[in-house]
Amino acid sequence: MNFQQLFAKPPEAEASAPGRVNLLGEHTDYNDGFVLPTVIPQRTTVQVGFSTDGQHHFYSENLDERVDILEIKYTPSGFTSYIFGCIQVLQQKGHTIPSLNLYVKSSVPIGSGLSSSAALEVATLRALRQLLNLAIDDVEIAQFAQQAEIHYAGVQCGIMDQMAASLGDTEHILFLDSRTLERRMLPFPSGAEIVVIDSGIPRTLASSGYNHRRTECQEAARLLKVKALRDVTNSSAVKALPEPLQRRAHHVVTENNRVLEVLHGVSSEHFGKLMNASHASLRDNYEVSVPALDTLVEMLQKTLGVFGAKLTGAGFGGACVALVAAGEGKNIATKVLEQYNNLGNTGRVLIPAGI
């Protein structure tokens, strides 16, 4: 069922936003640190129009779910919580939002760690900006989207995903300083492309585990008497911390340094080594990997033509990303997926698309 069939008139505005994959700089953004995401070809599209019956009507094509809301007094759950969050944040900023008909369709995989929620938030805010001629820029869109996620979806996330969805493109890696929001569009390392494989393990405990890590980092920063772990640049400074804070902080400090190394321009081989080191640290120090992801990453790392591989996003399940020799992505992804699924897993290749 399309917008016209559902609401008996065509949409008045339409916008879309992509999912993202993070190449390096994991769990650093909420520590005011540095990240290196790029966006994926899969996108979420939001169509909107004015509702004439005083109610909001939200529809998800993927879920075939319709939600009608007369007066939003509570936070709805599921896909509507992100849309509701965006509307609430806009209202708090002084914008008047009328009753809406809103239709969502998406090719961004849900629950794989590729930020389908940020894509939905940014697409919703872009569509509302267009419909209502709102004077908000792309950075504000990312900031409002992050507020929606924190206050209405309950994940104390950083700003990486929303900045990537709002400002990234598929041709570049976005270097972002999460404290100052300074950013640069970097080229991909020469002779390389990316492969993304979903482990098939749902991201259970992602939000509670994620929020817990965030609290641990705040506690580590407090003990080290710095505003955020970003302010610690020498990893030996964390040795005075009790465990597990020491390992958490060690991850953040070394991960920030890995991202900064890339800024100086590195070969694909070197970039890959930094990704491998990132995964090891996410597994051993930050403890956000799961055995199936470790298996998949290891298989990728052992495959000829792969420069490096790591889990991507928050972890606790979801997908991993590999940097591989240009032109080899399809072969490598097919081969590794077969090997991985032969162990009884239910992985799938997300990039390159169409495998």
Q: Binding ligand GLA by CB under 6 A: which of 3, 30, 175, 307?
A: 30
Closest by CA to 25, choosing from 278, 263, 290, 194, is 278
Strand 183-187: give its sheet, edge to edge: 34-35, 172-177, 183-187
Q: Per-residue b/e over 171-180, b at no fewer than 16 CB within 10 Å?
A: eebbbbbbbe
- Judged by DSSP in three states, 147 sits in helix
- 230 contacts ligand GLA (rule: CB under 6 A): no
Minimum CB distance to ligand GLA, residue 108 (Å): 13
**Residue 272 vs 313, nearer CB to ligand GLA:** 313
* Part of the chain binding ligand GLA (CB under 6 A), chosen from 66-74, 75-83, 92-100, 152-160: 152-160
Minimum CB distance to ligand GLA, residue 26 (Å): 4
Helix 160-167 and helix 116-132, axial crossing angle in degrees, nearest 10: 50
**Residue 45 vs 162, nearer CB to ligand GLA:** 162
Minimum CB distance to ligand GLA, residue 123 (Å): 16
> What is the distance of C-alpha 52 from the center of its chain?
35
* Part of the chain binding ligand GLA (CB under 6 A), chosen from 23-31, 93-101, 182-190, 324-332: 23-31
CB contact set of 246 (below 8 Å; sequence gap of 6+): 220, 238, 239
- 23 contacts ligand GLA (rule: CB under 6 A): no
Q: How many CB atoms lie within 10 A of CB 128?
A: 26
* Part of the chain binding ligand GLA (CB under 6 A), chosen from 126-134, 153-161, 262-270, 292-300: 153-161
Residue 293 CA to residue 245 CA, distance in Å, equals 23
Minimum CB distance to ligand GLA, residue 317 (Å): 12
Can you say whether residue 229 is alpha, beta or left, with left for phi > 0 and alpha for psi between -120 and 50 degrees? alpha
Closest by CA to 259, choosing from 39, 27, 40, is 27
* Part of the chain binding ligand GLA (CB under 6 A), chosen from 121-129, 154-162, 192-200, 332-340: 154-162
- 259 contacts ligand GLA (rule: CB under 6 A): no
**Residue 101 vs 276, nearer CB to ligand GLA:** 276
- Say which DSSP state 242 is in: P
**Residue 14 vs 32, nearer CB to ligand GLA:** 32
Q: 64 catalytic, yes or no?
A: no
Residue the block writes with tokens 């259970």: 204
**Residue 26 vs 32, nearer CB to ligand GLA:** 26
Catalytic residue among 161, 169, 231, 284: 161
Strand 65-69: give its sheet, edge to edge: 13-22, 37-50, 100-106, 56-60, 65-69
Site for ligand GLA, residues 311 to 340, rule: CB under 6 A: 313-314
Q: Report the alpha-carbon angle 326-317-193, nearest 5.
A: 5
* Part of the chain binding ligand GLA (CB under 6 A), chosen from 11-19, 22-30, 89-97, 243-251: 22-30
Minimum CB distance to ligand GLA, residue 27 (Å): 5
Q: Per-residue b/e over 248-281, b at no fewer than 16 CB within 10 Å?
A: bbbbbbebbebbeebeeeeebeebbbbbbbbbeb
**Residue 158 vs 329, nearer CB to ligand GLA:** 158
Q: Which residues are catalytic?
A: 161
Q: Residue numbers of the site for ligand GLA (CB under 6 A)?
A: 22, 26-27, 29-30, 115, 157-158, 160-161, 313-314
